[in-house]
Chain A
Amino acid sequence: MKEGFRQAMAWLHTWAGLIFGWLLFSIFLTGTLAYFKDEISHWMQPEIPARSVTSEASLNVAQNYLQQHAAGASRWLIDLPDAREPGLSVRWQQTPAKRGERGQFTEKLLDPQTGAEVQGRATTGGEFFYRFHFQLQMPYPWGRWLSTIAAMVMFVALISGIITHKKIFKDFFTFRPRKGQRSWLDGHNAVGVLVLPFHLMITYSSLVIFMSMVMPASILAAYNGDARAFYDEVFPASTTPERADQPAPLASLAPLLEKAREQWSGGRVGRLTVNNPGDANASVVLVRDGADRVVHDFGSAVTFNGVTGQLLGTTPEQSLPRAIAGSFYGLHMGHFAGPVLRWLYFICGLAGTAMIGTGLVIWLGKRQLKHAKSAVMPFELRLVEVLNIASMSGLMVAVAVFFWANRVLPVEMAGRADWEVNGFFIAWGLSLLHAMVRRGRAAWVEQLALAALLFGAVPLLNALTTPFHLGNALAQGDWAMAGFDLTCLGSGVFFAWAAWKMQRSGRAEIVTQVRARPITLEREAN
């Protein structure tokens, strides 16, 4: 580290990228899948029908259901269906036995047309990828901390990578295929620079999303240690009124939707909270759906008197700093994105995943060259190789197994949703074992081929186990269902190609290595 600034940054980029690369790869891949979380859930619960009913009609259905089944609850929560999430979700919280305790929640999914409870197969669906992306299957709050730490490392790796890469625009138009190590580096730079704004946005916004958890010093300093006062100020609508203990009928909720839309110049209602239903002190809080604009407003809500339907208050206009934080959140989540933009998000996410993956391959490739002649690889290189294989191709296999488990496990099986998730982790663990016992290249080829087989056969599996096969979905215009099958098929083809390339380049490897060496060494900054 005695050399110049750029060399120091290259060192930082290399090692920060290596240590967190495997974790970041899985975070980026699952996060990318989470952009289609509702579509994945739709494929994994095909029984839930897609209905197009107005918000008013589904709210009436929800109110009727809750009045019959949850009249004595302290709180109702109603999530209205939208185009991507067809289910009408109702939750209610029991009045806690003792003051200050948290009452128990019950959740039901309703058919917004008939009001009947929907009986879908038990699954975590796309929610699994979304949750894994920032909780890493760890107990609260450890997963969130680890993923935020990984995000900070990603931020450091990005900026140090930009500093290292001096000829950023010139090199951007350079791609030298079939040059071994050199092509990987060109590819790494190309995917890195091409979607650089996305990388910077997604990384910085992930820090902003969890900033009050990881960086609470300024809350404590400004509020004299009373963090609760800060949250009450930022989310004013979350305070619950006291019960009057006098029964009073709840007003009809549906007309409130129009009143809220007037307040938000047409903005849609996403969630309704009814506090103390059936009590004289009932209140209804309508929270805006995030999908109609980029800037997310956490606190944006309109509150009504639950008995008279009178407007009680609105949250003030978002201030500039909070709008900036909200737009970071909105940009990261991409709730506002329509189909085209959503695909663009997906592709950018894949580019980010590919950037991390190529970086890991380059780290190993460079060092393997030095040991090309000796038969045994040093332990640390072998370790990196095994982790590379398991974290990349192994993860792909695990994702495919997760989808397969959804169709293969019996619908009435106990603990079904958990076993889908277990299947994911068992497959991932087995891929690690497999990478340990097989030689590097053979392990790559076999795991990629398995991923190709599993993904490529998903449309067939879907056709054999459900009536929602590709032909049917296309005929009905169910693009989420058909798109899922087609994307899996496409992924299968891609993995087959990757496995084939890997096997072929294995044979030609010795020749290219000798040819590529002078170029690689000339550039070797780290």
Chain B
Amino acid sequence: MKVLPVSYRLAVTSRVLAAVLGGYIVAALASVSLTLWVPMARADAVVTGMMTSFLAYLGAVIWCFACRSAWQAWLGLIVSSLVLAATSGLAYWMGLS
């Protein structure tokens, strides 16, 4: 069996961390953003946001393993987190909740 180089192992570890932790943050922010923006009663909006968050998580995980490098995986998650945080913040500021 050929021995895999350390750099490869580190890159895989980095992707796994991005997928598990970064993916969770993206999913949580997506659920908050959707909850605040969707025009529904508060409890219903919360349920909708929570229910769909796992699709965002799935998308983030697939992204982390599909893109060319671990750096790109992190970059994608950071950008989408910032966008989602900004939309949530905007909704909060506008008092949409």
Residue ranges of A at the interface with B (Cβ–Cβ < 8 Å): 1-2, 5, 8-9, 11-12, 152, 155-156, 159-160, 204, 207-208, 211-212, 215-219, 221-224, 230, 233-234, 319-322, 324-325, 328, 370, 378
Contacts and interface: CB of A to CB of B under 8 A. Distances in A.
Interface string B11-50: 1100100000000000111011011100011111111111
25 contacts: A1-B65, A5-B66, A8-B65, A8-B66, A12-B61, A152-B54, A152-B57, A159-B58, A160-B65, A204-B54, A207-B54, A211-B53, A211-B54, A212-B50, A216-B50, A218-B46, A221-B32, A221-B35, A222-B45, A222-B46, A222-B97, A224-B97, A230-B43, A234-B43, A378-B1
A152 B44 CA distance: 23
A146 to B, nearest CB: 14
Contact of B65 (A11, A204, A223, A324): A11
Nearest to B16: A15
A208 B34 CA distance: 16
Nearest to A367: B1
Interface of A is mostly: helix
Nearest to A324: B51
Interface residues of B, number: 36
Contact of B62 (A9, A211, A217, A219): A9
Contact of B46 (A204, A219, A320, A378): A219
A28 B15 CA distance: 28
Given A5-B66, A223-B42, A230-B43, A218 B49 contact: yes
A8 B69 CA distance: 12
A155 B66 contact: no
A321 B57 contact: no
Interface of B is mostly: helix
Nearest to B8: A1
B49 A322 contact: no
B71 interface: no
A221 B36 contact: yes
A12 B67 CA distance: 12
A221 B92 contact: yes
Given A319-B44, A322-B44, A215 B35 contact: no
B12 to A, nearest CB: 8
B88 interface: yes
Contact of B28 (A152, A160, A217, A222): A217
Interface of B: 1, 11-12, 15, 27-29, 31-32, 34-36, 40-51, 53-54, 57-58, 61-62, 65-66, 68, 88, 92, 97
Contacts of B53: 211, 215, 218
Contact of A325 (B35, B51, B88, B92): B51
B54 to A, nearest CB: 5
Contacts of A12: 61-62, 65
B47 A321 contact: yes
Contacts of B47: 234, 321-322, 325
A204 B48 CA distance: 14
Contacts of A224: 97
A95 to B, nearest CB: 31
Q: 9 tightest CB-CB pairs across the interface, nearest first? A: A218-B35, A218-B49, A217-B28, A211-B50, A218-B31, A321-B44, A221-B32, A321-B48, A321-B47
A378 B1 CA distance: 9
Contacts of B35: 218, 221-222
Given A218-B53, A221-B97, 18 more contacts: A1-B12, A9-B62, A12-B62, A12-B65, A152-B57, A156-B58, A211-B51, A218-B32, A219-B46, A219-B50, A221-B88, A222-B49, A222-B97, A319-B41, A319-B44, A321-B40, A321-B51, A370-B1
A380 to B, nearest CB: 9
A230 to B, nearest CB: 6
